[in-house]
Structure formats: C-alpha cells, structure tokens
Structure 1
Amino acid sequence: MSRTDRASRVIAAPPATVYGALLDRESLEAWLPPDGMRGKVERWDPRPGGGFRMVLTYLDHIDNPGKTSDATDVVDIEFADLTPSERVVQRAVFEADDPSFAGAMTMTWHLSAAGGGTEVTVTATDVPPGIDQAAHEAGIASSLANLASYVEAAG
C-alpha cells in the first residue's frame, strides 16, 4: 500500500526566493538536513532529468542508525519537474541493503504566495515502509523550519 506523508509551513519570503533555495547546492546543504543531521551534496545537476546525490550524516548515530551505514543515509535525487516559483518534484532513492527502504519516493515541494510570503507544502508519496511516518513528517517539518530560517535571514 502506498503511503503519503506531508508537512507545510508559511515562510516570510517570496516564492522566487524559496524556489531559488530549493535549486542551489550550497543552500540545500545548509537547510535540507533535518535537526540532528548534516548533509553534503556529492553530485549536482539542477535541471529536469538531472539531480543530486546527498550524504546525510547523523550527529548521534547510536540512537539514530542510518539506512546506508551506521551513521549515514545516502540518497540519489532526480529532478522530475521544475516549475519556477511554483513546484519542484523530486524522485528520491535511498542506498540501503534493507528492502524496506527500497523504491523511489516522490517529494513534491509546492509553493504558493501567502500574504507577503510563501506557503510551502511538501508531499511525499510512495514512502518506503521502513521509514517511520511520524519521524519522517517531523524530519520534513524540521527541514521546512531550517528553510524558513535560511531564506528569512538572507532577506
């Protein structure tokens, strides 16, 4: 059965600014890793059909074992659709030996103007069953909070 996880947040920045942070390598490294992780982009090709590879490292891997190794999650992301200032659709595949993390998860970042800012809604579909739903939604919310802090500080 396919599962969908969601989170949203209003960010005090225009859609074009938020969209730019979704497609900038250094920006992604700064805000995408949820609390308790750090990230490094190893490959970068910001166009439809392109994508990136990110290594996420747990700061406390004893209590939070990774999917790829004891301390890491490695994910290959393909940009499936890029609609400037409106939407970024990503297909994410985790490197993992455990089949409960297998498959392509689709992450849709939808941006809509909201007052003087942007409502960002993230919808993850086809989430692998090995990913805990509550933890995943908390991780997405954490990334959105980081994104808000990042773009609001720059503005």
Structure 2
Amino acid sequence: MTDATTTLVEQLANALKSRGLMLATAESCTGGLIAGACTEVSGSSDWFERGFVTYSNAAKHGLLGVPALLIEQHGAVSEPVARAMASGALAHSPAQLAVAVTGVAGPTGGSPDKPVGTVWFGWATPEGVFTEHQRFDGDRAAVRQATVRHALAGLLQRLPRP
C-alpha cells in the first residue's frame, strides 16, 4: 500500500469511527484491493463491515442484486451498474456507507466507448447514491491503484457531517 493510500485509509478510519458508521465495498476491476487497503489497518473491524468482490456479471447480479437487464442494456462498466452496485452493497449488509467500482483496468478489454482506464464509481450514503466517471492512465496496476485512492477520497468527501 502506498503512503497516499495509507493516509486516506487512516483518515477514513478516524472519520467513520467518530461517526459510528460502517463501510461496505463492492468491487469489480479492483478485485478486493479497496477492502484490502481498509483491512490493512489494525482495528478496521470497528468501521469496515464487509467487501463484495463481484468481478463477473453473475456475481454482480447474485451478490448485489444488480439487475441482469441493467448490465445487458448498459454494460458492466457504466453509471447505472456502479449505482446499483453501491445500493446493493448497502442492501446486502448492515453498513451505512458503501463504495462501488467497475471499470476496465487493462491491458485488454477496452473499447472505443470504454477505453482501458475507464472506471465508474458509486458511493452510497444516507444522503443518497452519487456516481462519477474517471479515466486513469497507466498499466493495469496503476489503474487499479488510482481507482483505490479515488474511491477512498470520494468516501471522505461524501461522509455525513458528525
């Protein structure tokens, strides 16, 4: 874990503990790296509830309740799927916050519409579900690490006020 990621996790841990909130993750392109970064910190069971690694479309549907038709209509890497993943993580856990990521980490799998580095984020909070699209440069490892950092930073930005 990089220093920047460690700092983000520590800030998130403190903020969640002070608010008495629990986090769930729903990950596709990162394959559990966000959950791994969170649980790298001792005492994370105080604020990290669970992580869903939903790499396949069947897992997105089966574990998070993402409608198969939604994936069929928009593709797994899309705003509606990121939104449904984040909502599904909350619906299938007792957590109050969730982050979801779905993207194309590469080096294969890209298309003109969704090039390598394309990532959709979903953040589910008590105030609603927020989504965002990013495009990261670099190889597979760089895209995945940038996704982890952006997901964590997005959680910090969207935390409910204490």
Larger proportion of helix: 2
Higher relative contact order (CA 8 A, sep 6+): 1
TM-score, normalization: structure 1?
0.34
Larger proportion of strand: 1
